[in-house]
């Protein structure tokens, strides 16, 4: 069974840092891109970053550029998202998703984890 | 950046009725690179459609996608109780952006 399990969320102080993890199973992890998509309370979906199978990263959200870093460890079948300089606007559910590359070079997401919640508050 | 506008914001229908959801792009989406997702309360999104019209594995055939260029449509031919949810479109023709969503609620 294809599965993605996120972890690492929690309650954080403004200005803090956090690393989210997503453990993948049931497919050949090293051959797929992976994305992190977030959803603020009561809001829509926002893709924050994608990493290709070969490790090329693409940040999508201007609000996180320079603060978030996506990475992957194919030996552990795990993708990470490092979040720095957190603000209240980073409060969201963070979903890990398997990213399918299209001929355009961009991605859509065909498998999603259940998400991990990040709350930033003093 | 391609901006996706979904309409209506909320669609109130009864089980058995037909649902028609619209997703309009601010510029042409290359290669019909548009996906649709369903999200139920408290759950992660689920891929329904990619390539504007290709159903994902396990998606019932009452869901269909159509369109090209700047205008795309998701149609649910006959609403089942489990179809009441929020639906998002996403373009991947140029970078990646999501629409704001359409909520399909029980009338």
DSSP string over chain B = ---EEEE-SEEEE-TTS-EEEEEEEEEEEGGG-EEEEEE-TTS--EEEEETTTEEPTT--TTEEEEEEEEEEEEEESS--GGG-SEEEEEE-SSS-EE---EEEEE-
Tell me, what's the pLDDT at B31?
A: 82
Nearest-by-Cβ selection for A112 from B45, B92, B96: B45
Tell whether the model's pLDDT for residue A22 goes beyond 90. yes
- pLDDT category at A17 given cuts 50, 70, 90 is very high
Burial-class residue A103 by CB neighbours within 10 Å (0-12, 13-18, 19+): exposed
Instruction: Kindly report the number of other CB atoms within 10 A of residue B82's CB atom.
Output: 10
Tell me, what's the pLDDT at A57?
A: 86
Q: What is the pLDDT of residues A53-88, one digit of tens each?
A: 999 888 788 889 899 999 999 999 999 999 999 999
Tell me the two tokens of residue B67: 């369109």
Determine what percent of chain B is predicted with pLDDT higher than 70: 100
Tell me the two tokens of residue A77: 């079948």
Contact indicator for B70, B94 with CB cutoff of 8 Å: no
Tell me, what's the pLDDT at A119?
A: 98
Q: Please state, in angstroms and rounded to a whole number, the distance separating the CA atoms of residues A119 and B89.
A: 26
Check CB contact under 8 Å for A104 and B93. yes
Tell me, what's the pLDDT at A34?
A: 97
Tell me the two tokens of residue A38: 């977030």
Query: Is the CB of residue B95 less than 8 Å away from at least one CB of chain A?
Result: yes
Check CB contact under 8 Å for B90 and A95. no
Q: What is the pLDDT of residues B29-86, one digit of tens each?
A: 988 899 999 999 999 999 999 999 999 999 999 999 999 999 999 999 999 999 999 9
Kindly state the average pLDDT of the residues B87-98.
Answer: 94
Tell me, what's the pLDDT at B2?
A: 94
Q: What is the pLDDT of residues A81-109, one digit of tens each?
A: 999 999 999 999 999 999 998 888 889 99
């Amino acid at each position: 069974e294809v599965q993605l399990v996120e972890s690492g969320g929690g309650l954080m102080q403004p200005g803090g840092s956090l690393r989210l993890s997503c453990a993948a199973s049931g497919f050949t992890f090293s051959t797929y891109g992976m994305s992190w998509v977030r959803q603020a309370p009561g809001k829509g979906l926002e893709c924050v970053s994608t990493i290709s199978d070969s490790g090329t990263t693409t940040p999508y959200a201007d609000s996180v550029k320079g603060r978030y870093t996506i990475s992957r460890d194919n030996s552990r079948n795990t993708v990470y998202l490092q979040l720095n300089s957190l603000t209240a606007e980073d409060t969201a559910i963070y979903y890990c998703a398997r990213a399918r590359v299209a001929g355009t070079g961009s991605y859509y997401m065909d498998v999603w984890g259940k998400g991990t919640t990040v709350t930033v508050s003093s | 950046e391609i901006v996706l506008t979904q309409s209506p914001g909320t669609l109130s229908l009864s089980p058995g009725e037909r649902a028609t959801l619209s997703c309009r792009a601010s510029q042409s989406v290359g290669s019909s690179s548009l996906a649709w997702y369903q999200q139920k309360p408290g759950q992660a999104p689920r891929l329904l459609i990619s390539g504007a019209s290709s159903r994902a594995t396990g998606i019932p055939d009452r869901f269909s996608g159509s369109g090209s260029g700047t205008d795309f449509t998701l149609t649910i031919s006959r609403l089942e109780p489990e179809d009441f949810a929020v639906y998002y479109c996403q373009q991947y023709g140029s970078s990646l952006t999501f629409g704001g969503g359409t909520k399909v609620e029980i009338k």
